[in-house]
Structure 1
Amino acid sequence: MSPAAPATSTVIASVTVPGETTPRVEFTPAAVDVLRELQTQFGPLMFHQSGGCCDGSSPMCFPAGEFITSDRDVLLGVLDIAPDDEAPQPVEFWISAEQFEYWSHTFLTVDVVPGRGSGFSLEAPRGVRFLIRSRLMETFG
């Protein structure tokens, strides 16, 4: 199996918030490339965005199911990082209810930048970290 070609476009989440029709989260091509490498190493992945202090407020990537979500978490979207013509590789993106309320009018872009966070996110040993970029949503519902 040869390595996948680098991602060339963003991956936008499916809509998972009840009553909404507009996506709320996307991955940049650079983030997709790192996620594909991590998925090769660790298997299916998930994200959780909490409102904690320090790196606890950074998006954290875990093996799917390793971070236990509760009814106080919102499934913000599911993103498929599979290269074209391959089986789906879904990545769930969860956010704490408090952060969801705080960021209720924002669209989130998960990017990757050089530098190491001090959290437990899977990308940390690679010398990069995931980062949230946000913008006001233009439409709601």
Structure 2
Amino acid sequence: MVEKEKVVATDAALELIESLKEQHGPLMFHQSGGCCDGSSPMCYPRDEFRVGNADVKLGSIGDTPFYMSKDQYEYWKHTQLIIDVVDGRGGMFSLEGPEGKRFLTRSKVIE
């Protein structure tokens, strides 16, 4: 039985990730599940955000690791996260903000 990836990205998200990597170098994502900015996938330079024991690595998108807080993962563990991009303002600290785009998490239930 093949296990589905826990996190994937749309072509539009992968294109934006590549553009951001060209500008900022290696990246990483974190989704905490808090209110406001924390409920969106946040993109950071890889060496500027520290993950810890309270975080779970779900996988990688565009060779970029994607983490989520353990508490939030408990709610999402039966889903596949699909990272997409839409027009609009993202989180204040997420790298895509100046691009006029924001990353968005969609999901579907997986077995």
Instruction: Please tell me the TM-score bracket, short chain as reference.
Output: over 0.9
2:97 maps to 1:124: yes
Q: Which amino acid aligns with 1:100?
A: Y
TM-score (norm 2): 0.93
Higher RCO (C-alpha 8 Å, min separation 6): 2
Q: Is the 8 A contact 1:49 1:94 kept in 2?
A: yes
Q: How many residues are paired up?
A: 110
- Rg (Cα) greater in structure: 1
Q: Is the 8 A contact 1:50 1:95 kept in 2?
A: yes
Q: % of aligned pairs identical?
A: 53
Matched residues in 2 for 1:136 and 1:24: separation?
A: 10
- Over 3 Å off, 4+ runs: none
Two-structure CA RMSD over aligned residues (Å): 1.4
Aligned residue number for residue 4 of structure 1: none
2:67 maps to 1:67: no
Alignment of structure 1 residues 1-141 onto 2, 5 Å: 21-79=3-61, 81=62, 90-137=63-110, 139=111
For structure 1, the residue ranges without an aligned partner over 5 or more in a row are 1-19, 82-89
TM-score (norm 1): 0.74
For structure 2, the residue ranges without an aligned partner over 5 or more in a row are none
